[in-house]
Amino acid sequence: MELFAGVGGFRQAMEGIQKDFGIPFDCIAYSEIDANAIKTYKANYDCANEVEMGDIVAFNSDMSRYDNLDFDLLTGGFPCQSFSMMGKKLGFNDHRGTMFFEIEKILEKKRPKFVLLENVKNLITHDKGRTLKEIIGRLESLGYKVFYDIFNTSDFKLAQKRNRCIIFATTEALPESFAFSAASVKSVFDDAAADIKSLSFQRNILDVLSKEVSRKYYLSERIKPTLLADGSKNFVSKSEINQIIARPLTATMHKMHRACQDNYYSDGFINSSDPEAYLEVQFSKDELALQPIRKLTPEEAFALQGFTKEFVFNARNVKVCDGALYKQAGNAVSVNVIYAVLYFIFVHFNL
């Protein structure tokens, strides 16, 4: 069961595990409220025999709906805005923060063997650690053993810095050698890399950037100075472009923030035969502004999360626009990270 599914990052990872190692994963139900995300989801997965739960709060208003829904694994990137450093960090005081309690209702009703959740890294420190302690306590009260750590997407062969808290919980007996951490998962993932065929492995951003894209993705001469600026009277930043490992994608990247937050690339960097040498050149802001500079395309944004061009092509075919695609990429879980965790649990330890 995939809750708060977005475009199905957990499911994409599961399908990869199934292709590479023959471990069957069948999705029986998914929840999502964003209409465009649902269009992208349905364009890429066969959902014909699955329960489309929609709004999880409304679905959970009648828990008898779960009577005939049986599953061993519940996944969910539950809404993170209430814990995010970019938000107001209201946590459980924000209605989005209460979505964990909807998960809890399902766990209390069905007690699946495995739970895999994702959220922003700030979840660990939010409210001086009390928020995470509350979540762990509630899971443990239902009989789960709980593990968590911060995982960085760039450690799992994707060219994006993206730190996320992954929570794994299980009712199953675990071997004595089971030690869940980002480091242990990465080590096992790296050892298995040669046998992994379904994922994209990226050394740096140049494995993602296309040399030729539509002119619509280029910054206008008018907007360049604003996006490249280091700040203003009320806002100070260090705006840099051509990040060899991309900054974290945001759900609002279509609004084009300054170059301290979003990712922009110059043609000089993209077409350089020696990008590292190119980056050593100290261009002034004025010199940078003279170069053609562009933002990421939706295809590139999705690639940084571990999705294929075909995935975006299928979404475009059902009329999902660029703005919605950027939002979906920014909200998605990184496929390689989830794949690595699933491999660690279900292949390496054979749980």
Only one residue has tokens 């494995």, namely 207
What's the Cα-to-Cα distance from 54 to each of 50, 57, 89, 118, 195, rounded to whole Å?
A: 12, 9, 26, 19, 36
Distance CA 334, CA 307 (A): 9
Residue with the two structure tokens 């995935």:
311
- Cβ-based burial of 49 (10 A; exposed 0-12, middle 13-18, buried ≥19): exposed
Nearest by Cα to 164 from 264, 240, 84, 253: 84
Q: Taking Cα atoms as reference points, which of 341, 344, 340, 331 lies closest to residue 119?
A: 331
Q: What is the DSSP string of 167-231?
A: EEEESS---TT----HHHHHHHHHHHGGG--SS---SSGGGT--S---GGGBPPTTTHHHHH--E
Q: How many CA atoms lie less than 13 Å away from 90 in the CB half-sphere?
A: 11
Residue 260 annotated among the catalytic residues of the structure? no
Q: How far apart are CA 322 and CA 250, in angstroms?
A: 14
Q: Considering 27, 47, 80, 260, which one is annotated as catalytic?
A: 80
* Paired tokens of 49: 């025999």
The distance in angstroms from the start CA to the end CA of the chain is: 18
Instruction: Give the separation between CA 257 and CA 266, rounded to whole angstroms.
Output: 16
- Residue in 302, 299, 296 with CA at minimum distance from that of residue 332: 302
Active site residues per annotation: 80
